[in-house]
Structure 1
Amino acid sequence: MVNASDGNLIYVSIQYRLGLFGFLSGGEVAKDGVLNAGLLDQRAALDWVQRNVRAFGGDPSKVTIWGGSAGGGSVTYQLMAGGAYDEPPFSAAIAEWQPLLNQSEQESQLMTTLNLANCSTINCLRSLPVAELAYVNQAVENASYPTGGDGFGVFYWGPVVDKRFIQELPNMAFSAGRFYDVPLMVDHEAYEGYIFSNMSLTTQTAETTDARYLFPFAGPAFFSRLYTLYSRASFNSTFYQRQTWFGDWIIDCPTYYMATNAVDRNTNTSAVFKLTFAAGSEVHGSTTPFLAAGVGWPAANNHTLAEIMTSYWISFAVTQDPNPMRVANAPFWPSYVSGGEGTAAEGESVGFDTLAVTYTTISPQQDPDASARCDFWNGHGYQVQN
C-alpha cells in the first residue's frame, strides 16, 4: 500500500499485548491493575504517533487507524474510548467489530488462569516467566472450550467493559453517540461466518447447543426469534445457516450500526462509507491479498481489483474520502447517505448506499444489512456480549 501510494502514505504498525498478557480481566485484576491493557497499549502507541510522526514525514492531523478482524474490533473500541470525551489521537477510522466477555465469564476466566498457573493471586502470576505464562495462556483456552462465553469461533481472550476505557457495550455507545466524530469506513466480506463455524454440526439441535456456549445468557425467546429470522429451510445446510447468523452477529450487522449511527451523529454526514466484498475467497480476511500482502499484490487473483481496492484505501487515508485519489478505472464510491430521496429536513435523504464488489462488478447497492436480522442483533447486545 505504501508502494502504491507514490509517497503519499506513511504506514505505522504498532504492537500490543494479546491473550492474558493484554486482556486478562476479572475483579482482582481491576482492583490491582488495569483491564484492557492491550487497548491501552494501542492508545499509548497512537499518542506516540501524535507526538513523533512529524519526525519521519507524517502529519499528526491526518492519522487514519485501520485494523482487520480483531484489529478492526480494536479500532471500534478506540472510537468509543473513555466515552469519546476528548480529542482523539486520530482523524479517521476503518473499523470492524469484536465480541466482549461479561463479568461472570471474566471471573471464570481469571479463576481458570490462576488454577492452571498454580497461583492464588495476581502478584503470583506477575512473578512467572513469560514463557510459562504463554503456556498458561493456551492451557486456559484448551480447558475452557466449550464453556459459557467460549463457543466455536471465538477466541475467549479479548476486551471487556471496564467502565473506564470501554464504558459500555458498543451497541449502546453508538446508539447514544458516544464515539469520536471522525470520517468512518466499514467493510465486510460475503461469508464472514464461514471459517468460524463448525462443519460437523448437521442438526439444528447441535447448532443450538453450540450457540448456547456462545450466548450463555440467551433464552428460549432469543433462539425462537433467531430461527425465525434464519430458518433452516432458507439454507442448504445447517452449516450455512450457522455461518450466516454468526457472520451477521460478529461483523456484518455491526457495520450497519456503525454506519447508520455515524451518519446520524457525525458533523459531516457524508464522510461515512461502507463496502461489501464478494471476491477472492469471499471469507473473513479475503480483502487482505488485495490491500496489504506485499508489493504488487502477489497473493491477489485479480491485480486490477487490487489496484482499485488499494487506491480507495489510500485515498481515504490521505483525503478522508475514498474517491479523490482512486485509480482511473475505479468506480465512484458513494457515501452512505447517497441515493436517498427528499431532503435531510424531511428525513428522507439517507439511501444507505454501499459499494458492492464482486468478481466481475463494482457498483453501488443499498445496504443489505439494513434488515430485521440486524435489528434483532442490535436489540440483544447484553445477551450476545458473550
Structure 2
Amino acid sequence: MAVTTYSQLLVFAALVFVGRTALLTKPNGPIVRTQYGAVRGMFVEEGTIFLGLPFVVPPVGELRWKPPRAHNTSWAPAVRDGTVPGPACRQPGCGPNDTDWQYDCNRDKSRTQSEDCLYLNVFVPRSVLNSTTVRLPVMCWFHGGNYRFGTGSSMLYDGRILANKTNTVVVTTNYRLGAFGYLVTGEGEDDARGNYGTLDQIEALKWVQQNIADFGGDKDKVTIFGQSAGSDSVAVLLTSDRAANLFHQGIMLSVPFTIAHKTQFEAIRLGNEVTKLANCSAGDMKCLRSKPADDILRASESVGTYIADPFRLLEIFLQWGPTVDGDVLPRQTVDSFAKGQFQRKPFIVGTVGEEGVLFIYGAFGKPMSKVVLDAAALAFLRGKGPAALREYNPPQASDYRPVLSHAVTDWVFECATRNIIRNAVASGENDVWLYVFDHVWSFKSVWHDQSYCNGHVCHGEDVPFVFQTPLLVNLSFTADEQVMSDTMAYHYGNFAHTGDPNKPSRYVHTTGNVLKSPLNWPRYNEGNQFPNMNFTTPQNVMVHDYNKEKCDFWDKEDIYLGTD
C-alpha cells in the first residue's frame, strides 16, 4: 500500500464533499458522518477507503433464510472503524491456511467468514471535485464466484485505483452465497424461498440510494457492474421490477446466459437433497435453522454434482443462484430479453476470448478422446449434438478439450451474449455496446493451481485490468497492459459519467496516452455493422460482426437454454 504524503493530507483537509457532509481529517484517517453515526476510514495514495459498513441486520438465527432487513441501528456516539473489512459470507475454502493465488479471499489476515456478512465497502477517489454542487457517479460491483465463492472485500476487487481513474465512488458488496443465499425448500410461509442473495444485492442498492451522498456519490447516477455470477446478477436486476428504481445502467462481464436458472420445482428438489444431507426432514425449517453453519455448508457442497433436471446438465456448472420465482426473477433472463421484458437502460456487455477453457479443463483433467467429445455433445445438446459436431468438425487429435472449450465459449458465452444484445436493440434499447477481451496477461503466477489457463484468455482474465489491483499486490503490468487497462477505465468512466463510453466527462482523469487517440466505440446497432470493441494489446481494435459464422449457427439452432 502506497504511503500518503503530508501534502496530500493537506489537500484532503481543504476539500469538502457534496451536500451537508464534510470529509474531516484526523491523524489516523478521514471521518464521514452518516445517519448511523460517524465512520473513520483510511487514506491511501489513490483516495480514501471505508470498509465493513453494515447495510442489513445480520441474517442469523431465526433470520437465516429470511429476506434482508435494512440496517437500522446507530453506533453513535462511538466512531465506527472503517479500516477493517466485514467477514466474507460462508463459502468453501478461503480459510486462514489456504493459498489465495488470485487474491479473491477476504483481505483480513484471518480470512474471516460468517453468516453475519452483509457489509459493503466504499472507495472515494483522490481527485475530489473542489465543488459543493457536483456529485460523483457511483459504480456498484457485484463479485463473481459461481454464487458460491467470493467477497467484495477481496484485494482483487479493491476499488481505489478504479475510483481514482474514473473519478467515481466505487462500492463493493457482499451477498449471501450457496445454500445460505439460494436454498428453496418449498412455497410455505416459513419455507426457504430462495433468492436471498439477490435480495441482499437489492438492499445494498437501497443503501446506496439512502447513504452514498455522505461519501460524495450521486444516487441518481448509479452504474451496476459485475463479472460471471456478478454479471449474471446485473442481468437479473435488469429484468426484476424489484430493482427498477435503484440503478441507471449496467456493465456485464462474461455472463453465462445459456445456463438456465432453476425453476421452483428444480430448486425444491435440490433443497430437499440438502435438507436430507443436513439430517433434517423435508420442510423442517426449525431443524435447518438449528444446524451450525458448518453443517449447512457441508451439505450444500455435497450436492455439487446433483442434477435436478437431466435435460439441463449445464446446471452442474451453476448449482446455486437465483430461482425463477415470478417475482424477484420473473422468468429466465434470456427469455426476458427475447420478449423485450427488461428495463430500458444503457448497458455494456462482453466476454473474454476463451471462456470455456477454465471450465472444460477443470472438469476434464486428462486429454479427451473423440468418443468422450461425442458423448459430451450428445449429453449436453441431445438431439442437436450431431449438428454441433458437424459445425465444429474437429480434425483428428490426441486431445479434444480445445474443441469442446471453443464450442462452450461460443454456446454458453459469446453467442448467447450476441443474442441478448441483438434482442435488446430489437426491443428499442439502442444505447448498448459490445466488447471482447482477448489479451493473455503477463503475470502467470495467478493461475498457479489452474496452470492450463496460462497462455489462454480464461474466464475472469479481464477483471484485474478493470480494477488494476495487481499493482497493489506486487505484480506489474507491461507498458501495453497499462495502456489497455487505462483505456478500459477511460471508457467505463465515461459511461459512468455520461452514459456513453465515448463521451468524455471533464471529471474523468486518465493518462495522456489514452486521451491522444481514444478509439471510438460505436453503439452495437450503428450502421448494422455490429461493431465490437476488442480490448487487446498492443492497442484496441474495432471488429465487426465478431464470430459471425459460429453465432449464426447457434442462433439458428435456438439452443441457448438447451431446449429442443
TM-score using structure 2 length:
0.59
Amino acid at match of 1:47: K
Counterpart position of 2:352: 189
- Note if 1:97 corresponds to 2:233: no
Matches within 5 A, 1:34-73: 34-73=193-232
Matches within 5 A, 1:137-156: 137-141=300-304, 144=306, 148=310, 154-156=317-319
Separation in 2, partners of 1:30, 1:206 = 46
Counterpart position of 2:334: 171
Alpha carbons 1:88, 1:180 under 8 Å: kept: no
Separation in 2, partners of 1:299, 1:157 = 35
Separation in 2, partners of 1:2, 1:106 = 38
Counterpart position of 2:33: none
Counterpart position of 1:343: none
Counterpart position of 2:292: 129
Alpha carbons 1:184, 1:259 under 8 Å: kept: no
Counterpart position of 2:437: 277
Give the 3 Å change call, closer, same or farther, for CA 206–295 of structure 1 in structure 2: closer
State the secondary structure of the residue aligned to 2:317. coil
Alpha carbons 1:235, 1:241 under 8 Å: kept: no
* Alpha-carbon distance, 1:145 to partner: 7.9
Counterpart position of 1:346: none
Separation in 2, partners of 1:365, 1:274 = 10
Amino acid at match of 1:193: G
Amino acid at match of 1:362: N
Separation in 1, partners of 2:553, 2:461 = 24
* Alpha-carbon distance, 1:184 to partner: 0.7
* Alpha-carbon distance, 1:37 to partner: 1.3
Give the 3 Å change call, closer, same or farther, for CA 368–41 of structure 1 in structure 2: same
Separation in 1, partners of 2:298, 2:502 = 47
Counterpart position of 2:542: 364
Alpha carbons 2:352, 2:459 under 8 Å: kept: yes
State the Cα deviation string for residues 240-290 of structure 1 (Å, max 9, x = none): 1211121223221232122212222245x1x21111111024211111121
Alpha carbons 2:187, 2:193 under 8 Å: kept: no
State the secondary structure of the residue aligned to 1:244. helix
Counterpart position of 1:317: 496
Amino acid at match of 1:373: F
State the secondary structure of the residue aligned to 1:27. coil
Give the 3 Å change call, closer, same or farther, for CA 17–240 of structure 1 in structure 2: same
Higher strand share goes to which structure? 2
Amino acid at match of 2:248: S
Separation in 1, partners of 2:552, 2:397 = 17
Separation in 1, partners of 2:423, 2:246 = 21
Alpha carbons 1:65, 1:92 under 8 Å: kept: yes
Alpha carbons 2:415, 2:554 under 8 Å: kept: yes
Alpha carbons 1:275, 1:356 under 8 Å: kept: yes
> Which of 373, 391, 409 is the equivalent residue of 1:207?
373
Counterpart position of 1:12: 171
Q: Which moved more, 1:352-361 or 1:26-35?
A: 26-35
* Alpha-carbon distance, 1:36 to partner: 1.4
Amino acid at match of 1:131: D
* Alpha-carbon distance, 1:193 to partner: 0.3
Alpha carbons 2:161, 2:467 under 8 Å: kept: no
Separation in 1, partners of 2:225, 2:262 = 23
Q: Which moved more, 1:257-266 or 1:101-110?
A: 101-110
* Alpha-carbon distance, 1:177 to partner: 0.9
* Alpha-carbon distance, 1:113 to partner: 0.4
Give the 3 Å change call, closer, same or farther, for CA 158–201 of structure 1 in structure 2: farther
> Which of 541, 555, 561 is the equivalent residue of 1:375?
555
Counterpart position of 1:294: 469
Alpha carbons 2:165, 2:489 under 8 Å: kept: no
Counterpart position of 1:22: 181
Q: Which moved more, 1:124-133 or 1:30-39?
A: 30-39
User: Number of matched residues?
Assistant: 365
TM-score using structure 1 length:
0.84
Counterpart position of 1:88: 245
* Alpha-carbon distance, 1:135 to partner: 1.9
Amino acid at match of 1:337: N
Alpha carbons 2:348, 2:434 under 8 Å: kept: yes
* Alpha-carbon distance, 1:117 to partner: 0.4
Give the 3 Å change call, closer, same or farther, for CA 151–383 of structure 1 in structure 2: closer
Separation in 2, partners of 1:284, 1:109 = 27
State the secondary structure of the residue aligned to 1:219. helix
State the Cα deviation string for residues 49-71 of structure 1 (Å, max 9, x = none): 11222121111111000001110
State the Cα deviation string for residues 170-228 of structure 1 (Å, max 9, x = none): 22110111111111101111101000002525224323444566x4xx532x2122223
Q: Which moved more, 1:246-255 or 1:65-74?
A: 246-255
Amino acid at match of 1:88: N
State the Cα deviation string for residues 104-136 of structure 1 (Å, max 9, x = none): 542432222011100113412122122221222
Separation in 2, partners of 1:125, 1:331 = 55
Gaps of 5+ in 1: 341-349
Amino acid at match of 2:329: I
> Which of 505, 514, 530 is the equivalent residue of 1:352?
530
Q: Which moved more, 1:297-306 or 1:307-316?
A: 297-306
Higher helix share goes to which structure? 1
Alpha carbons 1:289, 1:300 under 8 Å: kept: no
Amino acid at match of 2:537: Y
Counterpart position of 2:233: 74
Separation in 1, partners of 2:393, 2:183 = 37
Separation in 1, partners of 2:396, 2:421 = 27
Separation in 1, partners of 2:367, 2:563 = 21
Separation in 2, partners of 1:26, 1:383 = 25
For the pair shown, which has the larger CA radius of gyration, 1 or 2? 2
Larger RCO: 1 or 2 (CA < 8 Å, sep 6+): 1
Q: Which moved more, 1:87-96 or 1:103-112?
A: 103-112
Counterpart position of 1:255: 417
% identity of equivalent residues:
27
Give the 3 Å change call, closer, same or farther, for CA 195–303 of structure 1 in structure 2: same
Separation in 1, partners of 2:400, 2:297 = 36
Amino acid at match of 2:436: T
Q: Which moved more, 1:1-10 or 1:11-20?
A: 1-10
State the secondary structure of the residue aligned to 2:533. strand
Give the 3 Å change call, closer, same or farther, for CA 295–201 of structure 1 in structure 2: closer
- Note if 1:3 corresponds to 2:161: yes
* Alpha-carbon distance, 1:294 to partner: 2.1
Counterpart position of 1:242: 404
Counterpart position of 1:345: none
